[in-house]
Every structure is written in C-alpha cells, then in structure tokens.
Amino acid sequence: MSNNILAIKNLTVSFDGFKALNNLNFTLETGELRVIIGPNGAGKTTFLDIITGKVKPTQGQVRFKGRNLRSFSEHQISRMGIGRKFQTPRVYLKLTPRENLELSCNRNKGVFSTFLGNPDPSERRTIAGLLETVGLTVKADIAAGLLSHGEKQRLEIGMLVAQSPDLLLVDEPVAGLTDEETENVGNLLLALAADHSIIVIEHDMEFVRQIARQVTVLHQGSVLCEGTMDEVQNDPKVIEVYLGQPEEQAA
C-alpha cells in the first residue's frame, strides 16, 4: 500500500448534478509512467483538476503519499510535489524562457524570500541544464511569446521539471506538434520517467504506443479498463467505446 504515490478511492465529482467523475478508483505506484486515454468528455481533465486541487471532490478521497488532499489549496499541493502541465501550453508570454524557469525553480516560494533572494549559482546551473534539455538554450533570453507552439510545449515541460515534483501530470503534451517534435517530447518523458512518477493524458495513439507501459481507459467518469497497450486495444469494451457498436453485432 505504502508503495502507491497516488491513491484515489470512490471518487465522485458532480457539477450541478452532472457527474464528471463517477465512483472512480485509481492507484499509481511510485516511479510508474501511466497513460490515460478516453473519448471526449470521459473526465480526463477533471481528473487532473481534482488531483491538483482546482476542483474539490463531491465524494471520495484523493491521497498523495498517504495524505488526503481535500483540505489543501493549489499552491500547497504543488509544493507537496505535484506538477501539472496544461493542455494548451501555459507559459508566461511576456517573460523569457529563462525567467519562466527561474520562477518555477525558486525553492522558497514565500513573499519575502522571492522578494529578497536572487537565484543562486546552483539554481542558475540547474536552469542552464534544463534549457539545454528542452533545447531552448539559444532562445533563452527572448520573450516566450515569440516561441513556436512546440517550443512552448517543451518550455512548459521544463518548467514542470524545474519544480522538481515527485508526480508529473501531463495533459496532451503533443497536441499540435509535428512528428519529429512528438518523438522528442516522448523521449523527454521517457527520460523523466526514470526518476519521477508520471501520468500522461493523450489522444495520439502512436505517441501512446511509444511511451506507454500501463494504460488506463476512462469512460463516462469511471475507469473502463487497465492494462498494457495491446490488452487495452483488443478489449471489446474499449473498441465499443471508441468505435461504437460493431456492425455485425448490431445487425
């Protein structure tokens, strides 16, 4: 039990009676890379909102490293070690990539320490290394608003890593990327998986195939099935959800 970094039990979230998540159970082992797929409206993004504290559960509980997250707000959960990358890249456009990373990397996030402290040499080195990793060294000092979509995606992943979280939540990291960029992001995530627990939400099946070891399928707010990519792809329930009723059976 103690090996689970994240444990979700009987979780229900309803918005005005509509159940975005319905009696969902989910566990993630420390160090695991898990991909979550599911059709539109399956509750994938709500699932991340719950873990990061943006939305509070109607019923059930979320435990991170054994602690119930209900009473914590977003920044506290983030400091506990959960980092989130959003569906559309959300970086600070007016700041440079280096400054973006500096803000995330800052270890002491109180008002006065941010106010008085400047990044120390070890932080600067970490940031330089991260810029290298996400391939933005040369563009480190221009406004992030001038970066391309793919570069912004990479920068946001960099910001996530700069927080040095234990659990990374990554929402559609390759949406709108070229094949080459997709592969780069995939390799980046695989490299990160070596010492982080990661949950990836994705639509791009080829990408899922590249990185996935374990896949969870969400449907209508609950877990439909779990398993390796091949198991999941051949599961009749999954095929039904994605493709609708096979015609021979319907006939």
Which residues sit at the interface with another protein, rule CB under 8 A? 52, 54, 73-75, 78-79, 83-84, 86, 90, 92-95, 99, 102-104, 106, 109-111, 114-115, 117-119, 128-129, 132, 137-139, 141-142, 159, 163
Q: Name which of 86 and 242 has its Cβ closer to another protein.
A: 86
200 within 8 A of 173, measured Cβ to Cβ: yes
Sign of the dihedral defined by the CA atoms of residues 228, 229, 231, 236, in that order: positive
What minimum distance in Å lies between the beta carbon of 147 and another protein? 10
Our CB check for another protein shows the closer of 92 and 242 to be: 92
- Closer by beta carbon to another protein, 69 or else 212: 69
Phi-psi region of 164 (alpha: psi -120 to 50; beta: other; left: phi over 0): left
Q: Kindly write down the DSSP assignment for every residue of 117-179, as one continuous string.
A: ----HHHHHHHHHHHHHTT-STTTTS-GGGS-HHHHHHHHHHHHHHT--SEEEEE-TTTT--H
- Rounded to a whole number of angstroms, the minimum distance from the CB of residue 73 to another protein is 8
C-beta closer to another protein: residue 56 or 94: 94
Residue in 3, 60, 6, 31 with CA at minimum distance from that of residue 221: 60
Strand 67-68 and strand 59-64: the pairing is antiparallel
Tokens at 81, concatenated? 């070690």
Q: How far is the CB of 99 from another protein (least distance, A)?
A: 5
Q: Taking the complex as a whole, how short is the minimal distance between the CB of residue 132 and another protein, in angstroms?
A: 6
78/184 with CB nearer another protein: 78
Token representation of residue 222: 């609950």
Identity of the residue, 128 or 190, whose beta carbon is nearer to another protein in the bound complex: 128
| End-to-end Cα spacing for the chain | 47
Q: How far is the CB of 77 from another protein (least distance, A)?
A: 9
**Residue that is written with structure tokens 């977003």 in the block:** 74
Measured from the CB atom, the residue of 88 and 234 that comes closer to another protein is 88
- The token duo for 105 is 């990397």
CA dihedral 219, 221, 225, 231 (to 10 degrees): 40
| Nearest distance from C-beta of residue 149 to another protein, angstroms | 15
Q: How far is the CB of 15 from another protein (least distance, A)?
A: 18
